[in-house]
């Protein structure tokens, strides 16, 4: 059995919901990808504080959301502060960054993933029913994102 399939089965993950890309220039990325994944909805949330590698860290991201079939395409431009998106760019990378899965209970799914070698590196509980966590594992550049969203936003 494929290790990836085994992990997906062990975590009882639903179908993939989103593919996230980190880009240096959001406008250029939208122009490039709009014919395939557009139209894009641009969101500029301003500075938000997340738990990043065990400490509170403010960051600002500009984000654009597109779609291909049932899969959301997220383009993320780092603006300021610390976080995994800046870390990705600082490593000289740009492009596919994470895969997102919707989960019923974020804390429970994070705990299950940690038993399989994943570590929570970035996350936030925005309120009851809305929380996010980025999970990474050693020697794997791809981040897995869990989103608990009972608010429908």
Q: Which residue has the tokens 């894009």?
A: 40
Residue 1 burial (CB < 10 Å; 0-12/13-18/19+)?
A: exposed
User: Can you tell me the distance from the alpha carbon of 47 to that of 87, in angstroms, rounded to the nearest whole number?
Assistant: 17
Please report, to the nearest 10 degrees, the dihedral formed by the alpha carbons of residues 69, 106, 44, 86 taken in order. -100
pTM, 2 dp = 0.93
Fold for the domain defined by 3-149: 2,3-Dihydroxybiphenyl 1,2-Dioxygenase; domain 1 (3.10.180)
Sign, Cα dihedral of 51, 52, 54, 56: negative
pLDDT digits (tens, 9 = 90+) for 76-108: 999 999 999 999 999 999 999 999 999 999 999
pLDDT digits (tens, 9 = 90+) for 132-142: 999 999 999 89
Q: Which residue has the tokens 């399939």?
A: 5
pLDDT digits (tens, 9 = 90+) for 26-79: 999 999 999 999 999 999 999 999 999 999 999 999 999 999 999 999 999 999
């Amino acid at each position: 059995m494929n290790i990836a399939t085994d992990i997906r089965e062990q975590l009882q993950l639903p179908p993939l919901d989103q593919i996230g890309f980190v880009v240096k220039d959001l406008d250029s990325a939208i122009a490039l990808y709009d014919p395939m994944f557009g139209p894009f909805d641009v969101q500029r949330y301003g500075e938000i504080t997340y738990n990043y590698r065990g400490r509170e860290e403010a960051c600002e991201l500009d984000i654009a959301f597109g779609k291909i079939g049932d899969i959301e395409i997220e383009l993320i431009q780092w603006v300021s502060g610390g976080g995994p998106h800046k870390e990705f760019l600082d490593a000289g990378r740009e492009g596919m960054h994470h895969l997102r899965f919707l989960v019923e209970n974020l804390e429970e799914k994070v705990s299950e993933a940690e038993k399989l070698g994943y570590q929570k590196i970035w996350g936030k509980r925005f309120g009851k029913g809305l929380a996010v966590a980025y999970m990474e594992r050693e020697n794997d550049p791809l981040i897995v994102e869990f989103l608990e969203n009972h608010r429908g936003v």
